[in-house]
Amino acid sequence: MTTAISLDHDAADAANPLADEMARMLRSRLEEALDLEPGDSRRVRLSNGETSVAFTVRGADAEAVTVLLDRDPPTVAAPGEPAEVGIELKPEHVNDFVGGAISLGPLLLAGEAAYRGPIRKYLMVDAVIRGLLGAHWRK
C-alpha cells in the first residue's frame, strides 16, 4: 500500500522567487513535451494513465500545473484545474525532472517529493513523460 509522504515546510519555503521561476518552466516544458502528433503511440500510452496530475513546486506562489492523462490527446490544463493526483517537487529537482533526467519514484520513496492521491496511476506513465521531457530538452 502506498502512503502519502509529507514534506516539512518552514518559513524558508514562503515567497521563493526561484520556486516561482521553476513552476513557470515546469508548465512550459510539459506543454511542449505533450505537443504530440496524432498517431504517436506515446499519446495512447499516456492516456492509459487514466488520471490527472497536479504538479506544484514547493515554495512557489504559482498555481499547480495539471496534466490531464485521462484523454487523448493528453494535455496541460488551464491553471486551477483540479487533479486526482498531486505531486510537489522541491525547486532543486525541477531542472532534472523537466530534462527527463530524474524518475519521480525514487524521489517519492526518499521523501524528496510529496504526493497525494493514487500515485501509482502516475508512476505507470512516469517513464513516458520522462522520455518526452528528455527528448524535448535535447532538441
pLDDT digits (tens, 9 = 90+) for 56-105: 999 999 999 999 999 989 999 999 999 999 999 999 999 999 999 999 99
Domain membership flag for residue 40: yes
- Residue 129 has a pLDDT of 95
Nine-digit cell string for 62: 504559482
Contact predicate 20/60, CB 8 Å:
yes
Residue 2 maps to a domain: no
* Residue 138 scores a pLDDT above 70: no
Instruction: State how far the alpha carbon of 103 is from the alpha carbons of 30, 40, 47, 99, 110, in Å.
Output: 15, 22, 19, 11, 12
- Higher-confidence residue: 89 or 49? 89
**Domain coverage including residue 86:** 12-137
32 in a structural domain: yes
Residues with Cβ within 8 Å of 134's Cβ and at least 6 positions away in sequence, in order, are: 99, 100, 101
User: CATH number, domain at 114?
Assistant: 3.30.1050.10
- In this predicted structure, the answer to whether residue 17 has a pLDDT above a threshold of 60 is yes
